[in-house]
Each structure stands twice: as C-alpha cells, then as structure tokens.
Structure 1
Amino acid sequence: MIQAAEHSRMKWQIENQHLRVRIDEDELARLLRGEVVEARTRFAGAFVVHGELRLDSGDAPTLSGQADAWSIALPEAAVRAHAARLPSRDGLRYTLSGKHHEQALELLFDVDVRDSVGRRRAPASGS
C-alpha cells in the first residue's frame, strides 16, 4: 500500500473550511473496485500527512482520523452515479457538520475532468 500512496495522483486542496479531493480515472477505477486510494505528503522531514479515500454503503460521507492521518468514506451509490456522468466539471458536494456551525467542513469530491475527457470521449471518426 505504501507504494501505491507514493504514486498517487490524488490531490487535496484545503482552504479555510473547504476541502477539495480530486482523483484521476485510474484512482476512480480503483475506488469502484472497492480499493482504498491513498496519498502521502512528506513536509521536508518535519512530518508526514497521510490521507485515504474509500467507498461506503452509507448515504453521507464520513471523515475520521487525526491531523496527520485522514480517512474519508464516500457514499458508493453517489460516486457510481457521478462516474456514470463523466466527464463533468461538477463534483459531489457535501457539508460535514461539527459541534458548532463554524466547524462545518465543505467537502467537494471530483474526478479530473481533463483526464476524463481524454479517456471517455471517443475520437471523432475521420471521413
């Protein structure tokens, strides 16, 4: 699993109370097969942050872990429906609530649209 994390193209973008998780088509295929997609970032020897993404049978995403090791479980049915609509610039949006309103986290999950267009659109036939 460590090797898979080393070569992950999953991107985490964090700004205030917004978290965007973007994966490519290969990682989407792995998720849809029931595998866990992992990413690891080493901050110049000071510390390491590890994140994982998986599917779950629930209706809402869950976030667990600690500051340096996260786990996000996405609703499998929603991800499968999203995958059927690709390529798309629209992702799946959720609000994960906290104890207080200001702790709510906006979560956006999407698949790299450039990768999807390149892989899912059939080339135009030449005349």
Structure 2
Amino acid sequence: MKIQIQSQSLRLRIDESELARLLAGEVLENQTWLGTPGVLSQRLQLHDTVEALLDGDAHTLTVKLPREDVLALQARLPCRDGLSFALHTQAQPLQLQFDVDVRDSVRQRGVQRRSSADAVSLS
C-alpha cells in the first residue's frame, strides 16, 4: 500500500494482490518506524456502509472504505479512475483518493477493450 499525504489530501494506492486480500476481509497495514517519536501506522479495511470513514489518531489511522464502492471499482479494472471521497473533519474537509495501480492491473488482467456501446461516435 502506498500512501501520499499533502495538505488536506490523502491518497491510498494498492496493487492487485492487496486488493484481493482486502476483498477477502483482511486489513491492510503500512507502518513507518520513526525511532524515538514512535510508529506511524495506516490501516485500510472495508465496511458495509455507504461512506468512507476515518478512525484512530495521527499515529494510528484507519481508513474504512465502502465495500460496494470497492467491488464496483474492481469490476471496471484496469482503469485510471479510482474512488474519491470528501471527508468532513472538524477543521477542514479532507479529500480521500483510493486507487488500484493501473499498471499492475494491466499486467494481471490485460487491457480491457471498450464495447461498441462505450465507443464515441465521431460522425
């Protein structure tokens, strides 16, 4: 799991094997050992509601994603567009972006061809 944090934006990107583990009910975890300050830990799990949620604190953050949204994303892989959520926090809204690595998806699944119904007409 790759994590990017900048200002009020949090991006989580996983690969296909991590997606399979997540869908099987596992909790994905990333830990960074900082020495004296302690450990930073980020966890990712699915839950059965319609909103993305944050739990924990600055040292141990848990991100909970809606299972149905992640299943819908899985059905359209490989794709560049992931899931995006606006989380309302006490101070400022936090933009949460969740992606599955598109290059890994292409390696695992191959390139998906658009159906003729999805094609754009140029006439």
Root-mean-square deviation (Å): 1.2
> Cα distance, 1:44 vs. partner?
4.7
TM-score after normalising by structure 1: 0.83
Match of 1:87 among 78, 83, 90: 78
Instruction: Write the letter of the residue equivalent to 1:64.
Output: D
Is the aligned partner of 1:120 residue 2:109? yes
> Cα distance, 1:98 vs. partner?
1.7
**Which structure shows the higher helix fraction?**
1
TM-score after normalising by structure 2: 0.86
Match of 1:66 among 34, 37, 57: 57
Instruction: Write the letter of the residue equivalent to 2:62.
Output: S
Which residue of the partner structure matches residue 125 of structure 1?
none
> Cα distance, 1:45 vs. partner?
4.8
Which residue of the partner structure matches residue 34 of structure 1?
25
- Unmatched runs of 5 consecutive residues or more in structure 2: 112-123
- Unmatched runs of 5 consecutive residues or more in structure 1: 1-9, 123-127
Tell me the number of residue pairs that the alignment of Structure 1 and Structure 2 aligns. 111
SS at match of 1:98: coil
Instruction: Give me the identity figure in percent.
Output: 49
Match of 2:87 among 89, 93, 96: 96
Q: Work out which of the two has the higher radius of gyration on C-alpha atoms and give 1 or 2.
A: 2
